[in-house]
């Protein structure tokens, strides 16, 4: 394996340049963010001996999972929406002592344990923020950091996440009460004794209105359209484990079979007063919630259609009804914005990136936190980070292979829908099917001679469930991990 100056920790040890000067960090590459995607990227780069710097504007690793971090969308009752079985990083599964769906605090601890186990934490420059990313005429990247510092890199991996910039709705009128985005919701104390209206039909909306049902004077959820709601367990096992263990069926047959199971076990959404879905199962992001139906059945949550008007404290709905509220919570999602580099990523909702991670137009620009798919994200972050690190390794050691993949980045447009017709809403324009993405990615790994590669520590090895001793084949030579 190529030797790098990775252990030198150049981010700390180099002499700081004079004010106004540009610190040329090459050959190091920059990783922006130390949440799940950033940690996966750092491990992949470190495993290949590639020099890198990693910066994080917060004061610890974990990204949005740190509920005490400024700007996080986390709330006290938040849990993972994929099971621990399907969600761990390669070679570092989530512990057997965790529940099927860990809490946000347990996920944060897992991420921090992961970072410590692979020696990533000490490499992060905390309290450092990217203010602007500029592509220079020579193709290098000039990075403006907080504090007036400037650095130059050949490549930048943007791992800063997608749930920091709220997508706010246009309310039809003026509301006299309080309006907040779900980004600002933390716990039931904000709801207690109030008449609460939650706008939206996603995972956060369902969680928050269930919280309101237990603490508020009145809890109402307003959905402009119908969604499919999937319980977190089916026949006693986590739903993603249930799906993974079953036979892989064509998309239409899978929709029919699983849709029938849901109808038999739980009924359809309109049975409980929710709008009837206007799309087939799996054609929008899955909403996993086992509590909303129960709250509706008990009468603790009242469903309403879309909002037609607001006058003072009175909210009118499209079914002709109206009601007074003290608080409106807009659980209306987030923009996939990259404020420091938006001009290079284009669309705020979904950057158009090859295999969800490689900029087609700007060589050396990557994203590892923009994958939106219908299963657990961490495995996809991990595999994508491994691809990017392998591609960067090729640039120094197998230039023909590097050039070959650059051609794919510019010209290859695979169908990653898996036979599903994803909804045409802004969120789903860049959506991919997990199985289709995984299978196509495996083809690329074989074609390029890449392998998953890590450097397991004793801590990682003791937690592993069979993925120990990850290794790679680079340029025909086996690389021990």
Q: What are phi and psi of 190, to 5 degrees?
A: -75, -10
pLDDT in tens, 153-172: 999 999 998 888 899 999 99
How many CB atoms lie under 10 A from the CB of residue 235?
8
**Closest among 337, 326, 374 to 203, alpha carbons compared:** 374
Cβ neighbors of 143 (< 8 A, separation 6 or more) are: 30, 130, 132, 133, 134, 150, 151, 152, 153, 156
Asked if pLDDT for residue 468 goes beyond 50, the answer is no
Domain 6-164+334-479 falls under CATH 3.50.50.60: yes
Q: 458 vs 429, which has greater pLDDT? A: 429
pLDDT > 90 fraction of the chain, expressed in percent and rounded: 63
Give the bridge partners for 141, in sequence order: 135, 153
pLDDT at 476: 34
| Tally of CA atoms within 13 A in the half-sphere of 304 that contains its CB | 23
pLDDT, average across residues 113-128? 96
Average pLDDT of the chain, as a whole number: 87
pLDDT in tens, 389-404: 999 999 999 999 999 9
Asked if pLDDT for residue 76 goes beyond 90, the answer is yes
Specify the range with the lowest mean pLDDT, choosing from 220-229, 333-342, 400-409, 420-429. 420-429
Q: Which residue has the tokens 């860990």?
A: 102
Q: 227 vs 183, which has greater pLDDT? A: 183
Specify the range with the lowest mean pLDDT, choosing from 104-108, 259-263, 320-324, 448-452. 259-263
pLDDT at 432: 83
**C-beta of residue 54 within 8 angstroms of C-beta of residue 115:** no
pLDDT, average across residues 402-409? 98
Asked if pLDDT for residue 475 goes beyond 60, the answer is no
The whole-angstrom separation of Cα 44 and Cα 359 is 19
Polymer length of the chain: 481
Model confidence, pTM: 0.88
Asked if pLDDT for residue 183 goes beyond 70, the answer is yes
pLDDT in tens, 302-360: 999 999 999 999 999 999 999 999 999 999 988 888 999 999 988 766 778 999 999 99
Asked if pLDDT for residue 464 goes beyond 70, the answer is no
Residue by residue, what is the 3-state secondary structure of the chain? CCCCCHHHCHHHHCCCCCCCCEEECCCCEEEECCCHHHHHHHHHHHHCCCCEEEEECCCCCCHHHCCCCCCCCCCCCCECCCCHHHHCECCECCCCCCCCCCEHHHHHHHHHHHHHHCCCHHHEEECCCEEEEEECCCCCEEEEEHHHCEEEECCEEECCCCCCEECCCCCCEEECCEEEEHHHCCCHHHCCCCEEEEECCCHHHHHHHHHHHHHCCEEEEECCCECCEECCEECCEEHHHHHHHCCCCCHHHHHHHHHHHHHHHHCCHHHHCCCCECCCCCCCCCEECCCHHHHHHCCCCEEECCEEEEEECEEEECCCCEEECCEEEECCCEECCCCCCHHHHCCCCCCCEECCCEECCCCCEEECCCCCECCCCHHHHHHHHHHHHHHHHHHHHCHHHHHHHHHHHHHCCCCCCCCCCCCCCHHHCCCECHHHHHHHHHHHHHHHCCCCCCCCCHHHHHHCCCCCCCCEEECCEEECC
Q: Give the domain 168-330 fold.
A: FAD/NAD(P)-binding domain (3.50.50)
Q: Which two tokens stand for residue 450?
A: 């890449």
Model confidence at 254, in pLDDT bands (50, 70, 90)? confident
pLDDT at 227: 86
pLDDT, average across residues 434-445? 93
How many CB atoms lie under 10 A from the CB of residue 388?
23
Q: Do 6-164+334-479 and 168-330 share a fold?
A: yes
Asked if pLDDT for residue 141 goes beyond 50, the answer is yes
pLDDT at 410: 96
Q: Which residue has the tokens 């789903």?
A: 428
Longest distance between any two alpha carbons in the chain, whole Å: 70
pLDDT at 268: 81
pLDDT, average across residues 471-479? 35
Q: Domain map of the chain by residue range?
A: 6-164+334-479, 168-330
pLDDT, average across residues 438-462? 79
pLDDT at 14: 52
Q: What are phi and psi of 218, to 5 degrees?
A: -150, 135
Buried b (16+ CB within 10 A) or exposed e, 454-481: bbbeeebeebbeebeebebebeeeebeb
pLDDT at 413: 95
pLDDT at 284: 77
C-alpha dist (Å) from residue 63 to 36, 146, 391 = 7, 18, 26
Model confidence at 458, in pLDDT bands (50, 70, 90)? very low
pLDDT > 70 fraction of the chain, expressed in percent and rounded: 87
Model confidence at 4, in pLDDT bands (50, 70, 90)? very low
pLDDT at 429: 72
**Closest among 332, 221, 196, 324 to 274, alpha carbons compared:** 221
């Amino acid at each position: 394996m190529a030797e790098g100056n990775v252990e030198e920790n150049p981010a700390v040890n180099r002499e700081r340049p004079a004010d106004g000067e540009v610190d040329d960090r090459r050959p190091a590459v920059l990783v922006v963010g130390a949440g799940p995607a950033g940690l996966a990227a750092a491990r992949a780069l470190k495993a290949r001996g590639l020099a890198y710097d990693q910066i994080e504007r917060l004061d610890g690793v974990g990204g949005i999972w740190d509920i005490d971090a400024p700007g996080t969308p986390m709330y006290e009752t938040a849990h993972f929406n994929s099971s621990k079985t399907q969600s761990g990083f390669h070679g570092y599964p989530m512990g057997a002592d965790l529940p099927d769906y860990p809490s946000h605090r347990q996920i944060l601890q897992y991420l921090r344990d992961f970072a410590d186990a692979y020696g990533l934490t000490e490499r992060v420059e905390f309290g450092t923020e990217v203010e602007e990313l500029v592509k220079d005429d020579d193709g290098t990247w000039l990075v403006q950091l907080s504090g007036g510092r400037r650095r130059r890199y050949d490549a930048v991996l943007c791992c800063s996440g997608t749930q920091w910039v709220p997508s706010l709705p246009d309310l039809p009128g003026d509301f006299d009460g309080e309006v907040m985005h779900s980004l600002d919701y933390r716990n039931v104390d904000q709801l207690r004794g109030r008449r609460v209206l939650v706008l939206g039909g996603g995972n956060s909306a369902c969680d928050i209105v269930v919280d309101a049902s237990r603490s508020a004077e009145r809890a109402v959820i307003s959905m402009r359209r119908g969604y499919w709601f999937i319980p977190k367990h089916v026949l006693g096992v986590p739903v993603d484990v249930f799906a993974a263990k079953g036979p892989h069926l064509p998309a239409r047959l899978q929709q029919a079979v699983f849709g029938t199971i849901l109808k038999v076990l739980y009924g359809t959404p309109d049975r409980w007063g929710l709008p009837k879905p206007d799309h087939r199962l799996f054609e929008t992001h899955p909403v996993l919630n086992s509590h909303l139906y129960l709250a509706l059945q008990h009468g603790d949550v009242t469903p309403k259609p879309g909002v037609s008007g607001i006058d003072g404290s009175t909210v009118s709905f499209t079914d002709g009804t109206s009601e007074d509220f003290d608080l409106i919570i807009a659980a209306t999602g987030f923009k996939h914005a990259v404020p420091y580099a938006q001009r290079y990523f284009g669309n705020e909702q979904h950057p158009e990136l090859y295999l969800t991670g490689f900029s087609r137009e700007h060589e050396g620009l990557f994203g590892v936190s923009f994958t939106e798919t219908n299963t657990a994200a961490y495995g996809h972050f991990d595999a994508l980070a491994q691809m990017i690190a392998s591609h960067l390794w090729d640039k120094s050691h197998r230039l023909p292979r590097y050039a070959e993949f650059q051609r794919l980045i510019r010209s290859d447009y695979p169908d990653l829908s898996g036979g599903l017709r994803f909804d045409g809403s802004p969120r789903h324009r860049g959506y991919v099917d997990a199985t289709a993405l995984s299978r196509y990615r495996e083809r690329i790994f074989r074609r390029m001679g890449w392998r998953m590669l890590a450097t397991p520590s004793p801590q990682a090895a003791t937690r592993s469930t069979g993925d120990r001793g990850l290794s790679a084949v680079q340029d025909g030579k086996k690389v021990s991990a």
